[in-house]
Structure 1
């Protein structure tokens, strides 16, 4: 399959560069390999366009930017970019949930938290935004997306983080299955793409267990709380099966571990007897809700 539609209908914004932070190097390598193969798919058309300045740097061996974020002995860090980014279209890739990266502070070993990853992201943006043509951020898990609304006197961290990136000069933010995509209202004048992986999820699920029977007698979609209801409704509608949901009854008279404890999970929906049930949620933190939901269903 040729890439003629790429050449005939659109032009590259600028030469592409992928700035992969340490937390996202493996994914960035896969993206880079895919783009290299894709852009070399139609060599005849590409050779004909070689002299076009719009295609400067279109066909290269690697689009990965030579950059890093070294740390001082105090734990402080800086971003270092070892090649020119003038006039390029930069995609900075970061995984703020990668807890596996250690660093040393005054002889003690720490593991990078989401805050550390976000600071490194800002360092890379700050190092290249002044000369790059455009800076885009690819963040598979949206930083602070759990703190997306204010219900009392508390910080609104996700909105503040997005505004900070917008003020630094970031043009686009790309994420997947944000906890609440309405948080993009904090940055209405820059691009915000929230891709839902529903198809990939269903494809992997049925490939893993091909014996699942998709009909109302054998399958049911369950939402473990109100927050996941939209996802469950969408999936149930597309598969043509019934849906049920739980809602959490909390004790608002006390706070334990920074939140109101859950007293019980109440179920709304038809009988699940003899059915395969699919529990759909957007994320698992402690796993408590998922375990409680599974116990109630059993």
Structure 2
């Protein structure tokens, strides 16, 4: 990779995404720019750059998930306030690097008078003069692209997953599974990548899923999994119940082994208990959300975390130099 050569490229990482920012910094071969975050006794906070950003092309890393330090709303406010301050300080353009972008699942009205929070988040970023947002595997890509008036860029982890599974399972007879009908397109794209990576013909299957009043049901597997090693692909793991149901259903239909992959591992509620399900051998995620909610023993036994810092660093370099993100993602022709 070529080194970013111009001094106007600035990379910041807010405190809770510092580790990811340092990985991106190593990829770009530039140091993280310095900033200050101060918390006040009344719960308010201040954040500012400690470097000159005038006329700079500035990138700010902040993955927007709640943790034991800050709520998702806290992280969102800090990012928005910082972007606003960088604009006020004369930055030419500011790009938000948000590997996990909050509130993207609330993209339409499902009940009377429901909020369309995805669109409201877009309005907030626009209000502080965000030039561009770069995120990964949003729940509804069309809603993300339509809900923001600033530039929207989108990356996928599928190639990372395909490389990992092709190396680990490439000699086995595989099937790719969507845990519900709504994720079939995502699973089909991944299936094609796996076929290309392994050179074998791989079937696509999906699980019947019915959600009513917060209760999920349905155990019918549509497709053939008998004797195959199944890879379940999704964008997000929340409580893990969907994955556990899918894995159990596959084993009951005589699948040989079951693995799962999802870009964002939130692992909420009783996920640690649910994912103890013996039929699910391994869960592969990225560090868009570190698996801090899971016990270390479970992580060591069952969870593989893939690093997205090199991918994000390459994307930033291409945005800075006017390169192609489409070529970076190596898309499959539809």
Give the structure-1-normalised TM-score: 0.75
Residue of structure 1 in register with 2:26 after alignment? 33
> Using the alignment, how far apart are the partners of 1:35 and 1:85 within structure 2?
18
Asked whether the equivalents of residues 249 and 266 of structure 1 are also in contact (C-alpha less than 8 Å), the reply is no
Residue of structure 1 in register with 2:83 after alignment? 125
> Using the alignment, how far apart are the partners of 2:67 and 2:181 within structure 1?
29
Residue of structure 2 in register with 1:116 after alignment? 74
How many residues are aligned here? 242
Residue of structure 2 in register with 1:172 after alignment? 132
**1:292 aligned to 2:252?**
no
How far did 1:248 drift?
Answer: 1.3
Asked whether the equivalents of residues 249 and 265 of structure 1 are also in contact (C-alpha less than 8 Å), the reply is no
> Using the alignment, how far apart are the partners of 1:168 and 1:32 within structure 2?
25
> Using the alignment, how far apart are the partners of 1:16 and 1:236 within structure 2?
37
Residue of structure 2 in register with 1:80 after alignment? 48
Match of 2:181 among 203, 222, 226: 226
Match of 1:201 among 148, 161, 165: 161
> Using the alignment, how far apart are the partners of 2:182 and 2:96 within structure 1?
26
Residue of structure 2 in register with 1:145 after alignment? 104
1:6-58 Cα deviation digits (max 9, x unpaired)? 89xxxx6x70111210121112112222222xxxxxxxxxxxxxxxxxxxxxx
Gaps of 5+ in 1: 37-61, 102-111
**1:184 aligned to 2:149?**
no
Instruction: State the structure with more CA Rg.
Output: 1
How far did 1:65 drift?
Answer: 2.1
How far did 1:206 drift?
Answer: 2.9
> Residues 236 and 27 from structure 1, CA distance in 2 versus in 1: closer, same or farther, beyond 3 angstroms?
same
Residue of structure 2 in register with 1:265 after alignment? 219
> Residues 211 and 172 from structure 1, CA distance in 2 versus in 1: closer, same or farther, beyond 3 angstroms?
closer
Asked whether the equivalents of residues 16 and 63 of structure 1 are also in contact (C-alpha less than 8 Å), the reply is no
> What is the SS of the residue equivalent to 2:235?
coil
Tell me the C-alpha RMSD between the 2 structures.
2.1
> Residues 222 and 210 from structure 1, CA distance in 2 versus in 1: closer, same or farther, beyond 3 angstroms?
closer
> Using the alignment, how far apart are the partners of 1:187 and 1:262 within structure 2?
31
1:155-211 Cα deviation digits (max 9, x unpaired)? 1112211221022111110011111111221224x211111121111112233x245
Residue of structure 1 in register with 2:317 after alignment? none
Structure 1 segments of 4+ aligned residues over 6 angstroms from their partners: none
**1:241 aligned to 2:207?**
no
> Residues 73 and 137 from structure 1, CA distance in 2 versus in 1: closer, same or farther, beyond 3 angstroms?
same
Gaps of 5+ in 2: 196-200, 252-334
Match of 2:10 among 13, 17, 21: 17
Give the alignment of 1:246-257 within 5 angstroms.
246-250=207-211, 252=212, 255=213
> Using the alignment, how far apart are the partners of 1:136 and 1:16 within structure 2?
11
